[in-house]
Structure 1
Amino acid sequence: MNLTFNLQHKLILSFMVILMATSAHGIETPQYTVIYEDETVEYRQYEPYIVAETFVDKSVKYKKASNEGFMRLFRYITGNNNVQADIDMTAPVQLVAASEEIAMTAPVQRVETDDSWRISFMLPSKFSMETAPTPGDERISLRLVKGQLMAVVRYSGRWTERNYDKHKERLSESLNAAAVETIGTFESAAYDAPYVLPFLRRNEVMIEVKSAPATQLTAATGS
């Protein structure tokens, strides 16, 4: 029990060190263009990107599910993956299995499905589906997220279920009032490490939509 506790804390501390080290240079985030915004909602057209994702059973509570999913993904980006690389040598070319550390990106995303929580984060844009390291944990998979139009509400504070529900309701009410048709389910996104003061944190709740108010732009159907 103590060994598991200490290991988890070491991993969390390592994550914080990585974030602090990369924050000075900027952490890569999904690319998007804001096409419309009102007092509450921002409508963003996202470019395609790749995510690593894992599912945690819905019977697990919100906070614990987030922590469990995050730890799986954290191990993946810090070396629990297999990369096959062609290496030119004087002897025949060899395929070498190795571990690769993957740069941090933001945000970490959480989605509620019918029977589970889906926790994911974006892979750096230098990777394609063909070149991305294969997860060493079979519970993690890679997926290409197609370009999509998202309605987003941004908020500060802690990344809690209560805070998420509050702002999801704000987003839902705004979309209903504007008669905007949605696609899929709501998603929750967190951009900052736990050591960042709550009032400085960037959190978001979002959902894919078919079009933005007062525009004729139609979103690509998400996967």
Structure 2
Amino acid sequence: MASLNLFNLSFLLSLLSSSNLSLWPRNHGEKVGVFPPTCNRIECPNYDVIHTGNGFEIRRYNSSTWISTSPIDDISFVGATRDGFLRLFSYIQGNNSDKRKIEMTAPVITEVKPSDGSFCASSFVVSFYVPKENQQNPPSAKDLHVQKWGLTYVAVRQFGGFVDDDEVGEEAAALYASIAGTIWSDAIDKSYSGGNATEYIVAQYNSPFEFRNRVNEIWLTFDLEDGFAI
């Protein structure tokens, strides 16, 4: 059963901290293909790497279940993720319809719908991956909802360090640039053609007390049509 272990506590303390995490070094560049060390300790969704490119990789995730916040409007990615994390942390600590404690998982993901201007609020949805033992019937909670993912393809760019507000947009732009002109760009463009093509997901794996080998990711999810040659 879940407990307030070091990973949970340290993540929680960092989100409540007023310190400027951007002072810690970040690892920009073409980092890709690193298996997050956190996933050796706590449960993460399984995936297969089906392609490795220049600064990105393509993964295939099987069906999975996530518990998610309602959209959070904020001008700050860090602030919205902190807000969402606290709601979800309360949920796994037993503040749910079953009064059930649930194990912490990774990554914590934040879906980002950027605003049209620098001083306008963006929309963020923060999610925890539901452990396999709870995926069939996860308990409910006020202001949270369950997301069921079918077979999902994800374009991924990895980067290190502590994530800050300015960095997420830069890393998302870099992922788009690295995919441009590849066989994956058309599939991704089709998946986003009905909405905002600048939407992306930020995945964070590490406790803030882990200063080395930090792994963060930008995700673009998409579908593949039948007959697409991998």
Provide the TM-score with structure 1 as the length reference. Answer: 0.73
Amino acid in the other structure paired with 1:133: P
**1:42 to 1:147, Cα distance in 2 relative to 1, 3 A:** same
Is the Cα contact below 8 Å between 2:47 and 2:59 reproduced in 1?
A: yes
- Whether the 8 Å CA contact 1:44–1:152 is kept in 2: the answer is yes
1:177 aligned residue (176, 181, 185): 181
Mapped pair 1:195 → 2:188:
no
1:128 matched to 2:135? The reply is yes
Higher relative CO (Cα under 8 Å, sequence separation at least 6) belongs to 2
CA shift at 1:165, angstroms? 1.8
How far apart are the structure 2 equivalents of 1:24 and 1:149?
Answer: 20
C-alpha displacement of 1:216: 1.2
**Structure 1: unaligned runs, 5 residues or longer:** 1-10, 84-98, 218-223
Rounded Cα–Cα distance in structure 2 between residues aligned with 1:191 and 1:153? 14
Partner of residue 41, structure 2: 26
Alignment-mate amino acid for residue 110 of structure 1: T
Instruction: State the 1:12 CA deviation.
Output: 10
Contact 1:52 1:142 in 2 (8 A): yes
CA root-mean-square deviation? 2.7
Does structure 1 conserve the Cα–Cα contact (< 8 Å) formed by 2:74 and 2:124?
Answer: no
Q: How does 1:97-116 map to 2 (within 5 A)?
A: 99-113=99-113, 116=123
After TM superposition, the structure 1 = structure 2 runs for residues 1-223 of structure 1, keeping only pairs within 5 Å, are 15-16=8-9, 26-83=41-98, 99-113=99-113, 116-129=123-136, 131-135=137-141, 138-178=142-182, 180-181=185-186, 182=188, 183-184=191-192, 185-197=199-211, 199-211=212-224, 216-217=229-230
**Number of the residue aligned with 1:6:** none
Same amino acid, percent of matched pairs: 25
Larger radius of gyration: 1
Partner Cα distance (1:54, 1:148) in 2: 20
Q: Give the SS at the match of 2:134.
A: coil
TM-score in terms of structure 2 length: 0.71
Higher strand share: 1
Deviations 1:26-71 (A, max 9, x none): 2111111001102311100001111010034323422211111100
Number of residue equivalences: 183
Alpha-carbon separation, structure 2, partners of 1:102 and 1:201? 24
How far apart, in 2, do the equivalents of 1:77 and 1:63 lie? 21
